[in-house]
Structure 1
Amino acid sequence: MSESKQSEGLLATAERLIERARAAGADQADAVVVRRRSRSASVRNGQVENTESSESDDFSLRVFVGQKVATVQAGHGADEEALATRAVAMARVSPEDPYACLADAERLARTWPDLELFDSTEPPAEALVEAATAAEAAALDVSGVASSIGAGAGAGLFGMVLATSHGFSGAFERSGFSTSVSVIAGEGVKMERDYDFDSRVFLADLDDAATIGRRAGERTVAKVNPRKVKTASNVTVVFDPRVARGLIGHLVSAINGASVARKTSFLRDMMGKQVAIDGLTLVDDPFVRRGSGSRPFDGEGISEGPLTMVENGVLQQWYLSTSVARELGLTTNGRAGRGGPSSSNVLVTPGPQSAKELIASVGNGFYVTELIGQGVNAITGEYSRGASGFWIENGELTFPVSEVTIASNLKDMFKRMVLANDIDPKYSVAAPTIAVEGMTLAGD
Structure 2
Amino acid sequence: MSDTIDSADLEKRASELVDLARKAGADAADAVVVRGRSRSVSVRLGKVEATEASESDDFSLRVFVGRRVASVSANPGFDLKLLAERAVAMAKASPEDPFAALADADRLAKSYPDLDLFDATAVSTETLTEAALAAEEAALAVSGVTNSSGAGASAGMGGLVLVTSHGFSGSYMATRFGRSVSAIAGEGTKMERDYDYDSRLFFADLRDADEIGRLAGERAVARINPRQVPTAKNVTVVFDPRIARGFVGHLAGAINGAAVARKTSFLRDMMGKQILKSGLSVTDDPLIVRGSSSRPFDGEGVSGEKLAMVEDGVLNHWFLSTSAALELGLQTNGRGVRGGPTVNPSSTNLALEPGSISRDDLIRGVGTGFYVTELIGQGVNMVTGEYSRGASGFWIENGELTFAVSEVTIASNLKDMFMALTPADDIDRKFGVAAPTLAIEGMTLAGL
Normalised TM-score (structure 1):
0.98
1:254 matches 2:254:
yes
1:345 matches 2:332:
no
Question: Which residue of the partner structure matches residue 75 of structure 1?
Answer: 75
- In the alignment, structure 2 segments of 5+ residues that lack a partner are none
Question: Which residue of the partner structure matches residue 410 of structure 1?
Answer: 414
Number of equivalences: 443
Contact 1:24/1:84 (8 A) holds in 2: yes
1:215 matches 2:215:
yes
RMSD: 1.0
Question: Which residue of the partner structure matches residue 270 of structure 1?
Answer: 270
Question: Which residue of the partner structure matches residue 99 of structure 1?
Answer: 99
Between 117-126 and 334-343, report the one with greater CA deviation.
334-343
**Aligned AA (2:358):** S
Structure 2 counterparts to residues 265-344 of structure 1, below 5 A: 265-338=265-338, 339-344=343-348
Q: Secondary structure at the match of 2:88?
A: helix
Structure 2 counterparts to residues 57-206 of structure 1, below 5 A: 57-206=57-206
Separation in 1, partners of 2:352, 2:337: 22
Separation in 1, partners of 2:52, 2:350: 31
**Aligned AA (1:391):** W
Contact 2:392/2:408 (8 A) holds in 1: yes
Q: CA deviation at 1:122?
A: 2.4
Separation in 2, partners of 1:32, 1:181: 35
Q: Secondary structure at the match of 1:132?
A: helix
Q: Secondary structure at the match of 1:25?
A: coil
- In the alignment, structure 1 segments of 5+ residues that lack a partner are none
Question: Which residue of the partner structure matches residue 51 of structure 1?
Answer: 51
Separation in 1, partners of 2:38, 2:254: 32
Structure 2 counterparts to residues 11-50 of structure 1, below 5 A: 11-50=11-50
**Aligned AA (1:240):** D
Question: Which residue of the partner structure matches residue 441 of structure 2?
Answer: 437
Contact 2:151/2:182 (8 A) holds in 1: yes
Question: Which residue of the partner structure matches residue 360 of structure 1?
Answer: 364
Between 317-326 and 420-429, report the one with greater CA deviation.
317-326
Q: CA deviation at 1:94?
A: 0.8
**Aligned AA (2:277):** I
Q: Secondary structure at the match of 1:414?
A: helix
Q: CA deviation at 1:79?
A: 2.1
Contact 2:182/2:216 (8 A) holds in 1: yes
Which 4+ runs in 1 deviate beyond 6 A?
none
Contact 1:122/1:155 (8 A) holds in 2: no
Q: Which residue, 391, 399, 404 being the options, matches 1:395?
A: 399
Separation in 1, partners of 2:26, 2:404: 62
Separation in 1, partners of 2:413, 2:52: 43
**Aligned AA (1:274):** Q
Q: What percent of counterpart residues are identical?
A: 67
Q: Secondary structure at the match of 1:182?
A: strand
Question: Which residue of the partner structure matches residue 6 of structure 1?
Answer: 6
1:3–1:331 Cα change, 3 Å: farther
Separation in 2, partners of 1:434, 1:292: 22
Separation in 2, partners of 1:282, 1:418: 13
Q: CA deviation at 1:5?
A: 5.8
**Aligned AA (1:57):** D
Separation in 1, partners of 2:5, 2:362: 51
Normalised TM-score (structure 2):
0.98
**Aligned AA (1:362):** V
Q: CA deviation at 1:405?
A: 0.4
Q: Secondary structure at the match of 2:354?
A: coil
Q: CA deviation at 1:6?
A: 2.5
Residue deviations 1:270-311 (CA, integer Å, cap 9, x gap): 000001111320110001111111000011101122011000
Structure 2 counterparts to residues 367-386 of structure 1, below 5 A: 367-386=371-390
Q: CA deviation at 1:3?
A: 6.0
Residue deviations 1:316-347 (CA, integer Å, cap 9, x gap): 01111112111111111111112311110002
Separation in 1, partners of 2:110, 2:12: 18
Question: Which residue of the partner structure matches residue 423 of structure 2?
Answer: 419
Separation in 2, partners of 1:380, 1:219: 34
Separation in 1, partners of 2:283, 2:3: 31
